[in-house]
Structure 1
Amino acid sequence: LHFCYEAGPTGYGLCRQLVELGHRCDVVAPSLIPKRPGERVKTNRRDAVTLARLLRAGELTGIWVPDAVHEAVRDLVRVRSSASEDLRKKRQQLLSFLLRHGRVFSGRKNWGPAHARWLAAQKFDHPAQQIVFQDQVDVITDAQNRLERLDA
């Protein structure tokens, strides 16, 4: 038997299982599946029939299926990238909050030791603002710790 399915959020586990059982399996990128003009209605049955016909005709091109190790490393890279982006956004939110309240660091660069000392010295008159400030600082600390754990 020769199987194929569209690449998607379910990953490559099914393909690896089928190959282990001795079957051929192709994972096909949805963007590489030929479509007729006007064919917009998608149903599982219609898609399965279309894939079977195209596979039999040899008109499908499979994509590279990573082994479990490659997929695990890919997942790690993605989560590390996401953590880095999250830290960047949290830092930007804190800087925007400080700017809205007229607080601008006059040192050379943000997020260095001098900036950390400056942040630690910030005090707000209104308790709600102090809570928001401290929460944002704590969130940044957590995000930095997360990134360090992923880099370890």
Structure 2
Amino acid sequence: AMRGIALINAVVLVAEVGDFTRFSNPRQLMAYFGLVPGEQSSGETVWRGGITKTGNTHARRALVEGAWAYRMRPRIGRHKVDRIEALPKVVRDIGWKAQVRLCTRYRRLSARGKNANVVNVAIAREMVGFIWSIACTVQSTPKAA
């Protein structure tokens, strides 16, 4: 349902995370992947740096590579239409919302002059929120017997 998450990336994420519902919110999952900013604080001074990289490296690498797909404008390609039609409507809606938001965010950050790699990691971090939402929706849906 999401651009940048094909079979390999999906398998890596599921294998590395297991049960997505063990995270009560997407921020916890972002921290698990090491996609949160590092911070050094002293008194009133707060300095936030690059990502912490303390999380799961395999999953983080898959997410960052998948995030490059959001450079293009939002659309659903012909080869994906059949696969997406088989998904529940709520999952398709989350996937489309993610695609529109992340493509727009990619363009906006790039237009501000941010480095392409910094933009890509920011997109990967936000993509985790949508992945968490889809995974929790799918895992909470009762299966037909």
Give the TM-score of the pair, scaled to structure 2.
0.28
Report which of the two has the higher share of helix. Answer: 2
State the structure with more CA Rg: 1
The two structures have a TM-score, normalised by structure 1, of 0.27
Larger RCO, structure (CA 8 Å, separation 6 or more): 2
